[in-house]
Amino acid sequence: MRLSNVIRGARIGFAAAAALGLSGLAGGAAADSGGLLNGFNNFNWKEFFTYHGSKDKQEQQQQKEHHLFCPEILVLDGTAASQVHAGTPPTNMNLRYQYALGDVVRECSQQGDQLAIKVGISGNVLLGPAGSPASFSVPLRVAIVDAKDNEPVVTKLYRVAATIPAGQAQTEFSLVTEPLLVPFTKDHADDDYTIKVGIDEGPEKPAAKHKE
């Protein structure tokens, strides 16, 4: 998955008509807030991002004294959807299934001298005319990219399970990552990093770029 060509878009349109061709992107990029995005209709992100642990008084006071500006989240160009066909050349009628992204969100917190970023992604698997109900493994790439040189500081490939049961034509999938840690330099983390996500059918990438 190339990290150079990106398109802004934190919300991807998806409908049954996608079986006849890839649908376009819709919506705008994430705002500058370090908290949850608003207006997501399809998935309960709040439940997944709610912090259930305990924080010491010093950490609570630090979070009250400043506001984090979480990095912008972008969907890489050409990775909002992926189609698999039963034959060549690919046509609408030999489409087996399609993966398509839905909502993407992020949440940031400071952990000492590190910035912890959790990323949430939802989407759909849709059967085409040549497809049949089955279990799928959706490959989702998440990368935290250094804004100075556009190189990944952290990049990780997740494989998310999704099953279309008998008698159904589509299903949803969702991912909430563990906290991805990068060096913290200032509250405006959006000046230091960009979050890039997408469906990645390519080979595994290096796990991280180590910095002094």
* pLDDT tens digit sequence for 29-51: 333 333 333 334 445 555 555 44
pTM score, whole prediction: 0.69
Residue 67: pLDDT band by 50, 70, 90 thresholds? confident
Phi, psi at 74, each rounded to 5°: -125, 145
Side-chain-facing half-sphere of 178: CA atoms under 13 Å = 6
The confidence score (pLDDT) of residue 12 equals: 42
How do beta strands 114-127 and 180-183 pair?
antiparallel
Spatial separation of the C-alpha atoms in residues 137 and 125, rounded to whole Å: 10
Contact 16, 23 (CB under 8 A): no
Rounded to the nearest 5°, which phi and psi values hold at 202? -85, -175
Domain boundaries, the chain: 73-199
pLDDT tens-digit map of 105-140: 999 999 999 999 999 999 999 999 999 999 999 999
Region at 112 (left for phi over 0; alpha for psi -120 to 50; beta for the rest): left
* Fold of the domain spanning 73-199: Immunoglobulin-like (2.60.40)
